[in-house]
Chain A
Amino acid sequence: MIDEDILKDFLVEAKEGISKMEEEFIELEKDRSNLEIIKSLFRTMHSLKGASGFFGFKSLEGIAHFAEDILGKIRDGELEATEEVVDILLRCLDEIKYIVAYLEEHKAEPLDDRILEFLVELSNFTDKLKKKAQIKEVPEKVETSEEEPKEEARLEEKVSEKHEAIEKEEEKIEKLPEEKKEPVKEEKKEERVIQTSQITLTETHIKVSIELLDQLMNLAGELVLARNRVVQLANRLNDPELSRSVQSLSMVTTELQETIMKTRMQPIGVVFNKFPRIVRDLARSLNKKVNLHLEGTETELDRSIIEAIKDPLTHLVRNAIDHGIEPPEIRVQTGKPPEGNLVLRAYHEGGQVIIEIEDDGRGIDIEKIKRKAIEKGLVSPEEAERLSEKEILSFIFRSGFSTAEKVTQVSGRGVGMDVVKTNIEKLGGSIEINTVLGKGTTVRIKIPLTLAIIPALIVTSHGQRYAIPQVSLRELVSIEPEKDLLKMGDTEFYRLRGEIIPVVRLSKALGLENGKNEKSLVILTTGERFIGLLVDEIFDSEEIVVKPLGKWFKGIPLYSGATIMGDGKLALILDVVGISSLAGLKTEEVERALEEKKVLKSAEETQFILIFDVGEDTFALPLALISRLDKVKADDLKIVGGKEVVIYKNKVIPVIRLENYLPIQGVPHQEEYNLLFFTEREKTCAILCSRIVDTLETTLDVETDLYQQPGILGHRIINNRTVLFLDIYKIIEMYDPEWFIVKREEEETPYLVLLAEDSPFFQNMVKNYLEQAGFHVELAVNGEEALRKLKAGLKPDLIITDLEMPVMDGFEFIKNVRSIPEYRDIPIMVLTSLTGEDIKRKVFELGANAYEVKLDREKVLSTALELLHKKEAERRVNRG
């Protein structure tokens, strides 16, 4: 049942103790009054007793107990270390040795009668010693043991046992002086001595000082460096025999280094497993119920780090139980199960080890910390208001800071968290707190896996070599920077299987000019996100020995260390987290710059547009307006009743020739024409054109000054051609003024619509079709202007707004409108080309009443009417 590893540890310790005690007994023989030796013996025996008791080795514990008892008496001066006493102690040691040897072999205690006998003998011996001290009390003792039978379980048996023991004892007392003379007993004793003293304990473990291991590690590091050098030389010489031997040298070196590393690695479970006991005891003393979860106990860490985090961890666990987890009654009141949960978790992330201490207790009250910080004069009240949650939490790490109302035995003395922080930072780690009031706290400790030797990728920039730790390496991509990199302002991005990754040029990060041959992209991960690092060249992956940087370089986030390369030259080790912070910062700055630019420029909404020719002229239309594209033979066009029509899918569809409405040359005769179909309210018409040129995704920025005539919204130069943007609704209206008219009953005063839209194209188009439908339209080029118009006294029946606008966007505009009471019930329709559930949800959250896509005229109008009617109805209800 007992775990093998722990048993092994115990045996190693026991054997050490035994050999130490053996030496000390020899010393003691020389000088029986040496108290120091007695004390040391007592301590060793005591810990042996404790450990064996823990494992449940009853006889071992028994023997050690008696021996400890005797040693204790000698120490306290109650007993003299006579030959007889030392003799029995030595016999104890022999028996212990025997049992330990047996344990090693059989993993269980020997069930020997001899040991039982020896225990009885020991018991008698100590009793005799006791009696010596209080001879007269002996008879009374017998009586008293008879007097208290009630509470004993097996009363009769017990009493009789005691009787027996006492009888035996009495016998022994008589016999003892004779014992040595008795030949039979003497023989027996000799037998035992022979049996036990022959046992020699074979060592399976030895203790080695950490210093020695450190030294070994350093030497291995040097060896790796030398090996790298030799490998490089061998590559240059290209001698097959040399290459072979270098190869085997290389392998052995790697293996050696790994083995040495292993001597230092230990699973974190070694520390974690101590916590059940600590948690149990603490919970008991605080009257709390705590469940403990351990996760990732197999995570390996350098032994020295494990030693160093033991105390900080214990402190954090104590904190969690004392401050975090509430007493069961309070937990039940707040709807939690009475048992609190404490999780200790360890895992690897981005070349670091993360340890989390998580509780589901009351969490940390930020306000309380703020108050305390102000009270202590660490921060002024005004400053405190400005601080972020994280910054406020960091006060916890100030020395002498405690919000505990009363100092308990466990925590609240204000020492601790600062010590915890310094200890973690000493290891090169960091500590972070996440807390949700009423829900719990998570303390996250990040510790670097500061391994002395790590595999790394060597890259170059401007001829200099840099090493990138392989743990943070994701993949390598060969790219053409000009073609493959996407730009936003000055920041570059790379699209890796759909993921957009910010790119950092190593040369730029180093403050140099862009490299000429920057074609290799190294994708790195920080554990949270990816970044691309563009470098000149990629060399081999190599094992490098990490050398710490001097203090002058410590502050540079870009480097985490240095290493010596095979040719003896230095290479700096890049810090991936540092580089990623560089990438993050830059994009933010670019964004800010873009933001400023945006005020001047129109928002960049893009649409797919269809470009087509009508004779010599080129036109453009948003693709979304067109319901269908098709080709027809010239023969299919018929004139019926003075109107040109086409029979298409068993329907008669009127054909519109643009030249009839616009001053253009028109479509020359062709064998085949292209038709663009428009469908609206089940009415379809088609526009005749000679050729479809292209479709293009672009913004709808158009110049409106040159072509000011109905049917044209504006023009723009695309691929060196002037493209006219059609106002298709106007054209159709010109073709048939009745086309869009919807018979509306009880036509009162026309509704007033406030339209906020920045793009002239949409301004015209939407305005046109709204006016066709009988609305009055008031235009505003952005949210701010619209708001100004409202404030100037405009009382629209409906507000239609775009989302993407300069100066004040739609979101902001809606928010503003809804915050003014008198406009609160003006219905707002959002008209946008942005689609997406999230945006839709957002605008509704802000208070919009409808959400439509710009190009869906029919839907826009029906929704507008719907909103207006609803408002009418409400007004009527309110009046009534």
Chain B
Amino acid sequence: MDKKFYFQNSQDLKRFFRTKIKELHPDRGGDREEYLKFIEWYQKALNKINKKPLIKVLKNSFPEGNFCYRIETFTVKEVSLGLIKKFKLPVRERVCPICKGIKKSPSGDKKICEKCNGKGFLNLVNNSETIQLKCTFCEGRGYLFTEICPECMGKGKIKEEEVLEIKLPYGLREGDILFISGELFDSPWDFYIEVNLEPHAHFKLKGDNLIYEAEIKFYEVLLKDYILIETLEGWEKVPSEVFKRGEPVIFPRRGPYLSEDKLWERGDLIICPKITFPENINEKAKKLLKKIVKLLEEEKNGG
């Protein structure tokens, strides 16, 4: 089975299995060998997923074992909705393509092999007979490379990076660690990714809720029927009426998803209106404003 198929949860895997098995079934003209292989792969993959969560949110927990630790920037939207995010992760090691595992730079300086004097073979005498053998110290090259391979820094191996799509688990917050088990991609190490939230112009996560700081010009509430507000699901028109009191407006269950064990539960989206005033206004505008104020007062008195 192609190793490129990674599944984070059993639902996805099962769905994949159901569609694929239909194609492969011998009754439908599939190859029997492949069909059996696929079933075997599926069972293994299912076992792997069911054993323990391969992706989880860690709060205040130490990483341990062999791992790759890094800090990634997430958007508020990504963590709130548990979107699919692409990561470029060093998944496995492979033999260095430059030095082919010999750890030295093949294009760097060389020195003559001391054992065979650059001949590549050794003349050894055994009972007055000369035997010629390939020099095993320099592998018959006759010289030794002296500079370490700059590609792999003399390890002979390099880490291979792969772009992986991970569906983020719910409940990630700033400073939390996203744990991704290496088992998911047959990697010899796990991944611990610390969450660094990209600052958003309006959104701010606070506890279970999402705060939206809405800058509203003082006249907008009066003049406009609605005000455009960005929610996790996109821009929405909110009647300006609700902002008149100047108090936070709560959109229940429109905030971030809470956590994996409280599936589908969401926090609230709280819109905090921030009424803004122009720093200076010109005389003309001031006059007009005064006029408006006068009109309004008259109306009030009249009413």
For residue B205, which residue of chain A has the nearest CB? A153
Which residues of A lie under 8 Å from residue B189 when comparing CB positions?
293-295
Minimal beta-carbon separation of B27 from chain A (angstroms): 45
Distance in Å: Cβ of A344 to nearest Cβ of chain B:
10
B127 in the interface (beta carbon within 8 A): yes
User: Distance (Å) between the CB of B175 and the closest chain A CB?
Assistant: 10
B74 touches A (CB below 8 Å): no
On chain A, the residues within 8 Å of B278 by CB distance are none
Q: Which residue of chain B lies nearest to A440 when distances are taken between CB atoms in the complex? A: B153
User: Could you say which of A155, A156, A291, A591 has the most chain B C-beta atoms within 10 Å of its C-beta?
Assistant: A291
Q: A1-21 CB contact bits vs B (8 Å, 1 = yes)?
A: 111001000000000000000
**Does A289 sit at the interface, judged by CB under 8 A?**
yes
> B70 is contacted by which of A273, A292, A486 (Cβ under 8 Å)?
A292
In the complex, the chain A residue whose C-beta lies closest to that of B126 is A486
Residues of B60-85 whose CB lies within 8 A of A: 60-71
Nearest CB to that of B272 among chain A residues?
A: A150
Q: Which residues of B contact A804 (CB under 8 A)?
A: 119
| Interface residue from A3, A156, A811, A838 paired with B120 (Cβ < 8 Å) | A838
Task: Tell me the bound Cα distance from A149 to B272 in angstroms.
Answer: 10
Contact yes or no, B153 A697, CB < 8 A: no
A729 interfacial by beta-carbon distance below 8 Å? no
Interface size on A, residues (CB 8 A): 67
Chain B 205-225: CB-based contact to A (< 8 A → 1; otherwise 0): 011010100000000000000
The answer to whether B66 and A2 touch across the interface, beta carbons within 8 angstroms, is no
CB <8 Å contact, A294 and B61: no
For residue A66, CB closer than 8 A to chain B, the reply is no
Whether B119 pairs with A834 at a CB distance below 8 angstroms is yes
A55 lies within 8 A of chain B by Cβ: yes
User: What size tier do the contact residues of chain B reach?
Assistant: 35 or more
Bound CA–CA A429/B123 (angstroms):
38
Is there contact, CB below 8 Å, between B66 and A153?
no
Q: In residues 840-861 of chain A, which contact B (Cβ within 8 Å)?
A: 842
Cβ-defined contact, A588 with B114, below 8 A: yes
Give the contacting residue for B140; candidates A298, A486, A838; CB below 8 A: A838
* A439 and B120 form a contact (CB under 8 A): no
In angstroms, how far is the closest chain A Cβ from the Cβ of B229? 16
A339 CB-CB contact with B under 8 Å: yes
B90 & A293 in contact (Cβ 8 Å cutoff): yes
Set B126, B248, B274: member contacting A155, Cβ < 8 A: B248
- Chain B 273-293 against A: per-residue CB contact (8 Å), 1 yes, 0 no? 010000000000000000000
Within 8 A of B (CB), among A557-597: 587-588, 591, 594-595
Contact A488 to B142, CB < 8 A, known contacts A1-B61, A153-B270, A291-B70: no
Q: Does B124 contact A (CB under 8 A)?
A: yes
Contact A606 B136 (CB under 8 A): no
Bound-state CA distance A591–B123 (Å) is 12
Checking B125, B248, B272 against A488 with a beta-carbon cut-off of 8 angstroms, the contacting residue is B125
Q: Is the beta-carbon distance between A153 and B211 smaller than 8 angstroms?
A: yes
Q: How far is the CB of B274 from chain A (nearest CB, A)?
A: 7
**B141: which A residues are within 8 A, CB to CB?**
838
Indicate whether A591 sits within 8 Å of B114 (C-beta atoms), given known contacts A279-B69, A298-B65, A839-B142: yes
Docked complex Cα distance between A699 and B159 (Å): 49
Decide: A434 near B154, CB < 8 A? Known: A155-B248, A296-B66.
Answer: yes
Which chain A residues lie closer than 8 Å to B58 at the CB level? 1
Instruction: Give A193 to B248 CA distance when docked, in angstroms.
Output: 45
Instruction: Map CB proximity to B onto A455-489 as digits: 1 under 8 Å, 0 otherwise.
Output: 00000000000000000000000000011011110
A681 at the interface (CB under 8 A from B): no
Interface residues of A in 691-738 (CB under 8 A from B): 697-699
Residue A222, interface by CB 8 Å: no
Contact: A293 with B67, CB < 8 Å?
Answer: yes
Across-interface contacts of B238 in A (CB, < 8 A): none
- Which of A405-413, A494-502, A640-648, A751-759 is the contact stretch? A494-502
The answer to whether A54 has its CB under 8 Å from any CB of chain B is yes
B133 within 8 A of A: yes
Contact B56 A280 (CB under 8 A): no
User: In the assembly, what is the distance between CA of A312 and CA of B247, in Å?
Assistant: 56
Residues of B within 8 A of A606 (CB): 123, 130, 132
By a CB distance below 8 angstroms, the chain B residues around A3 are: 61-62, 64
- A276-B63, A291-B70, A434-B154 in contact; A1/B56 too (CB < 8 A)? yes
Do the beta carbons of B69 and A493 come within 8 Å of each other?
Answer: no
Q: Which residues of B contact A307 (CB under 8 A)?
A: none
Contact of A6 among B62, B137, B207, B248 (CB under 8 A): B62
In this assembly, does B122 line the interface, its C-beta being within 8 Å of a C-beta of chain A?
A: yes
Q: How near does chain A come to B182, taking the closest CB pair, in angstroms?
A: 12
Tell yes or no: A358 within 8 A of B by CB.
yes
Are A838 and B124 neighbours in the complex by a CB distance under 8 Å? Answer: no
Give Cα distance in the complex from A279 to B159, angstroms: 20
Q: Which of B65, B136, B153 neighbours the largest number of chain A CB atoms within 10 Å of its CB?
A: B153
Give which listed residue, A53, A291, A591, A838, contacts B142 with CB less than 8 A: A838
Nearest B-chain residue to A155, judged by Cβ: B248
A434-B206 in contact (CB<8A): no
What's the minimum C-beta distance from A589 to chain B, rounded to whole angstroms?
Answer: 10
Q: Is B115 an interface residue (CB 8 A)?
A: yes
A358 to B154, CA, bound (A): 11
Would you call B148 an interface residue if the criterion is a C-beta within 8 Å of the partner chain's C-beta atoms?
Answer: yes
Interface pair A591/B115, CB less than 8 Å apart: yes
Whether A291 lies near B68 (C-beta < 8 A) is yes
**Neighbouring A residues of B62 by C-beta, 8 Å:** 3, 6, 273, 276
B26 in contact (CB, < 8 A) = no
Does A436 reach chain B (CB closer than 8 Å)?
A: yes
Closest residue of chain B to A804 (Cβ to Cβ) is B119
For residue B43, CB closer than 8 A to chain A, the reply is no
Give the distance in Å from the alpha carbon of A485 to the alpha carbon of B126 in the complex: 7
A666 is an interface residue with CB less than 8 A from chain B: no
Residue picked from A283, A339, A595, most chain B C-beta under 10 Å: A339
Instruction: Give the residue name and chain of the B residue nearest to A57 (CB).
Output: B60
Name A493's closest neighbour in chain B (CB-CB): B124
Contact with A along B134-165 (1 / 0, CB 8 A): 01110011110000101001110001000000
Closest-CB distance, A474 to chain B (whole angstroms): 15
Residues of chain B within 8 A (CB-CB) of A616 are: none
CB of A156 within 8 A of CB of B117, answer: no
Q: Do residues B69 and A291 form an inter-chain contact, with CB atoms below 8 A?
A: yes
Tell me, in angstroms, the Cα distance from A591 to B71 when the chains sit together.
55
- Bound-state CA distance A289–B196 (Å) is 12
Complex: how many Å from CA A834 to CA B274? 86
The interface residues of chain A lying within 8 Å CB-to-CB of B64 are 3, 6, 269, 273, 297
B residues less than 8 Å from A6 (CB atoms) = 62, 64
Question: Which residues on the B side are within 8 Å of A291 (C-beta)?
Answer: 68-70
Cβ-based interface call for A651 (8 A): no
Establish whether residues A500 and B137, one from each chain, have CB atoms under 8 Å apart when the complex forms: yes
Contact between chains at B124 and A595 (CB < 8 Å): no
- Expressed in whole angstroms, the minimum distance between the Cβ of B218 and any Cβ of chain A is 15
Answer yes or no: B131 CB below 8 A from chain A CBs. Answer: yes
CB-based contact B90/A495 at 8 Å: no
- Residue B257 lies at the interface, judged by CB distance under 8 Å to chain A: no
**What's the Cα separation between A238 and B27 when bound, in Å?**
74
Nearest-neighbor residue (CB-CB) of B192 within chain A: A276
Tell me if A150 and B142 are in contact (CB < 8 A).
no
Q: Which residues of B contact A31 (CB under 8 A)?
A: none
Closest residue on chain B to residue A291 by CB atoms: B70
Query: Nearest 5 CB-CB pairs, A to B?
Result: A486-B124, A291-B70, A292-B69, A276-B69, A500-B136
14 further interface pairs, Cβ-Cβ under 8 Å (given A273-B63, A360-B153, A483-B127): A3-B61, A56-B60, A155-B247, A156-B248, A273-B62, A291-B69, A293-B68, A294-B65, A486-B133, A500-B135, A500-B136, A500-B137, A804-B119, A836-B120
Binding site for A on B (CB under 8 A): 56, 58-71, 90, 114-115, 117-120, 122-127, 130-133, 135-137, 140-143, 148, 150, 153-155, 159, 189, 192, 194, 206-207, 209, 211, 247-248, 270, 272, 274
Provide 17 A-B residue pairs closer than 8 Å at the C-beta atoms, listed in order of the A residue.
A3-B64, A55-B60, A153-B209, A155-B248, A156-B248, A293-B189, A294-B69, A436-B153, A439-B150, A440-B153, A442-B153, A486-B126, A587-B115, A594-B117, A697-B132, A699-B130, A836-B140
